[in-house]
């Protein structure tokens, strides 16, 4: 009798788990509808653009599929929030500089093909000198889906209006390594600089000034509805993004 009861209980638990699993699976969709997108510099006129994936200065070393023009696109809701970020930072003497915003799915597919081609290490010395390219999937530097493709994620840095130069943040955009983490050499929750560089495989470090610049950007983004990523100091996603389950496919080009 005991064996029958245990078997029945196990079956019920398996059924319950299956039901929970079915109910928590999120359905994603793809579309080429750009009607709710805006050209970012129209919504945020003070933003400076340096669209790396339209150029050859990126971790792949070639122009990325889907980038037809050197512009940045964003959902209207995210653009409104970024305008507030820009206004706050401008009052402090900074402008925002955008490296990437909306990223079409075929650009992500381009990254995936490049990562699978392990011998292609053209830009290794600039973006991932401490890593063997074969670990990029395993360590999730390259993934088959990106939040950028949902249209409310942005990669950016600070531009100093007084010096008319991009601020030195202690590391380049798209650097693959722990030096890019917001908690590198400090605590992003408190803004405290600790100097702890133990996670750097090559013993690299950043200064208190470089850490504070990362925090200035981070605080402004969090103040206006964005959330940070724990592996990239330059990467932020709107918390209340309008299309959390939609991956867009239209190319990056100037919108009418």
pLDDT along the chain (256 residues), means of 10: 43 45 70 98 98 98 98 98 98 98 98 98 98 97 98 99 98 98 98 98 98 98 98 98 98 94
Helix, strand, coil in percent for the chain, rounding step 5: 35, 20, 45
pLDDT of residue 25: 60
pLDDT of residue 45: 97
Contact 208, 168 (CB under 8 A): no
pTM, rounded to two decimals: 0.90
pLDDT of residue 26: 72
Take residue 199 and report the two structure tokens written for it: 């996670």
pLDDT of residue 256: 76
The domain ranges of the chain are 35-248
pLDDT of residue 212: 98
- Buried/exposed code over 152-181 (b: 16+ C-beta within 10 A; e: otherwise): bbbbbbbbeeeeeeebebbbbbbbbbbbbb
Cβ-based neighbour number of residue 217 at 10 Å: 23
- What is the second-level CATH architecture of the domain 35-248? 2-Layer Sandwich (3.30)
Nearest C-alpha neighbor of 154 from the set 245, 37, 62? 37
pLDDT of residue 20: 41
Catalytic residue (one of 166, 179, 192, 232): 232
232 is an active site residue: yes
End-to-end CA distance of the chain: give it in Å, rounded: 73
């Amino acid at each position: 009798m005991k064996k029958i009861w245990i078997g029945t209980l196990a079956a019920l638990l398996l059924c319950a788990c299956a039901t929970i699993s079915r109910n928590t699976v999120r359905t994603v969709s793809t579309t080429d509808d750009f009607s709710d997108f805006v050209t970012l510099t129209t919504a945020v006129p003070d933003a400076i653009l340096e669209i790396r994936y339209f150029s050859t200065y990126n971790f792949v070393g070639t122009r990325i599929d889907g980038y037809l023009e050197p512009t940045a696109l964003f959902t209207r809701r995210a653009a409104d929030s970024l305008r507030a970020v820009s206004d706050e930072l401008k009052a402090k003497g900074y402008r925002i500089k955008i490296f990437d915003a909306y990223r079409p799915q075929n650009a992500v597919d381009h990254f995936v093909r490049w990562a699978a081609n392990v011998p292609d290490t053209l830009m290794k010395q600039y973006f991932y000198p401490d890593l063997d390219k074969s670990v990029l999937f395993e360590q999730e530097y390259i993934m088959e889906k990106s939040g950028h493709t949902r249209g409310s994620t942005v990669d950016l840095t600070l531009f100093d209006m007084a010096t008319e130069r991009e601020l030195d943040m202690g590391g380049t955009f798209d650097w693959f390594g722990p030096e890019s983490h917001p908690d590198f050499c400090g605590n992003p929750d408190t803004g405290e600089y600790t100097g702890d560089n133990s996670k750097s495989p090559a013993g690299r470090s950043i200064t208190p000034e470089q850490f504070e610049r990362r925090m200035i950007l981070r605080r402004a983004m969090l103040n206006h509805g964005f959330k940070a990523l724990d592996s990239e100091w330059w990467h932020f996603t709107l918390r209340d993004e309008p299309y959390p389950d939609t991956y867009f496919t239209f190319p990056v080009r100037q919108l009418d």
